């Protein structure tokens, strides 16, 4: 049986078996991925708006924050 890669994501790849492809499983996987992307964008937006004293409290520098918020939502 040959396996094909559907999506590649850190830390693991999501696979489907072409002979037993399941639409519901695919839809759940897509929705889960969209939710993760939304969370990434939302969290980075909150981080970008955080005042300096809170960044200091959680142990982040402005350069670390800048590096993080420059990432694309899928990263």
Enumerate residues 6+ apart whose C-beta is below 8 A from 73.
37, 38, 40, 41, 44
The predicted structure's pLDDT at residue 2: 44
Reported as a single tens digit per residue, the pLDDT across 48-57 is 999 999 999 9
More confident residue, 18 or 42: 42
Query: Residue 16: its pLDDT value, please?
Result: 55
Report how far apart, in Å, the C-alpha atoms of 15 and of each of 3, 10, 21, 37 are: 7, 13, 10, 19
Model pTM score? 0.60
Q: pLDDT digits over 7-41, tens only? A: 444 544 555 555 566 888 888 999 999 999 999 99
């Amino acid at each position: 049986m040959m396996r094909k890669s559907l999506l590649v994501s850190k830390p693991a790849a999501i696979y489907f078996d072409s002979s037993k492809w399941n639409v519901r499983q695919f839809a759940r996987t897509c929705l889960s991925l969209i939710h993760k992307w939304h969370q990434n964008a939302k969290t980075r937006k909150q981080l970008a708006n955080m005042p300096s004293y809170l960044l200091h409290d959680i142990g982040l520098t402005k350069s670390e924050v800048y590096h993080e918020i420059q990432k694309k939502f899928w990263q």
